[in-house]
Amino acid sequence: MVAMEYTIQELEKKANALRLDVIEATTAAGSGHPGGSLSSADLLAALYFKVMRHDPEDPEREDRDRFILSKGHAAPILYSALAESGYFPKEELATLRKMGSRLQGHPVKGKVPGIEMSTGSLGQGLSMACGMALAGKLDKKDHKIYCLLGDGELQSGQNWEAAMLARHYHLNNLIAFVDRNRLQITGCTEDAMSLDPLPEKWRAFGWNVIIINGHSMIQIVEACAKAKEAETNPTVIIMNTVKGKGVSFMENNCDFHGKACKAGEKDQAVTELCRI
């Protein structure tokens, strides 16, 4: 299993390394979704290098924790976390979205080790996570299921059906995260379809709710530890984040939801990230 002794400072450095990977890979591809990848980099670093039980040498190990990237368009950050963890060579990140590459624009189970579910059609990941969590409870397993949702994705009704099911079956082995950067491809989430008051919605569905700064590594790690201790109900961790975090011209800019940097922009992005 992956070593779990990383310090908060080391995890912060890992998160920045993931961000650099995302910029390099999406720029080389000339396409992709960097904005929402950068906003969730801190979480992915925490999960893959501190929180989750997983084994790059044995990706199908039965007692592993499972991670589902429901917002599948943020595949670059997942690929980066997997490569940095040792699931495949880091050099392969340069093939993102290239013809013949297994690193497709959205994750595909069976192509890349460590991918638990093919995602991309928004609103489906939490349902699959519920199924995995329920199966784990029925089989009396102690692994956890982690699922990352985009906030715009919560405008899909299937998520709330899954939320009801998770509470009904007391899936305390399920931990969901909401990347609450408040932007989607068309602009502000609240203009497209308001989600607020979001914490109250989850509480009404019977979930434990934790609200954190999604760029504070200590808050992420502490929230995950608290969620693991839930005795009955599932937990959602709502992470207040910044889309494009770490790159000044990408931050809070919905243009970079699904657009890669140009060559000159990439140089600036790398320079800024290397200063962190």
CB-side neighbour CA atoms (13 Å) of 128: 22
Mean pLDDT over 107-134 rounds to 96
77 domain-assigned: yes
Mean pLDDT over 24-30 rounds to 97
Q: What distances in angstroms separate CA 163 from CA 5, 68, 212, one per listed residue?
A: 33, 15, 20
Q: pLDDT at position 67, please?
A: 98
225 domain-assigned: yes
Mean pLDDT over 191-213 rounds to 97
2 domain-assigned: no
Which residue would you say has higher pLDDT here, 228 or 264?
228
Q: pLDDT at position 264, please?
A: 85
Mean residue pLDDT of the chain comes to: 96
List beta partners, residue 73: none
> Which structural domain range is residue 238 located in?
8-275
65 domain-assigned: yes
Phi, psi of 195 (to 5 degrees): -100, -20
Is residue 4 predicted with pLDDT exceeding 70? no
Mean pLDDT over 110-135 rounds to 96
Q: pLDDT at position 123, please?
A: 92
Identify the CA nearest to 248 among candidates 213, 275, 217, 220.
275
Mean pLDDT over 148-162 rounds to 97
Is residue 212 predicted with pLDDT exceeding 70? yes
Tell me the pLDDT tens digit for each residue of 52-103: 999 999 999 999 999 999 999 999 999 999 999 999 999 999 999 999 999 9
Give the rounded percent of residues in the chain with a pLDDT score beyond 70.
Answer: 99
Q: How many domains does the chain have?
A: 1
Phi, psi of 119 (to 5 degrees): -130, 165
31 domain-assigned: yes
Tell me the pLDDT tens digit for each residue of 72-86: 999 999 999 999 999
Q: pLDDT category, 161, cuts 50, 70, 90?
A: very high
Is residue 216 predicted with pLDDT exceeding 90? yes
**CATH classification at residue 41:** 3.40.50.970
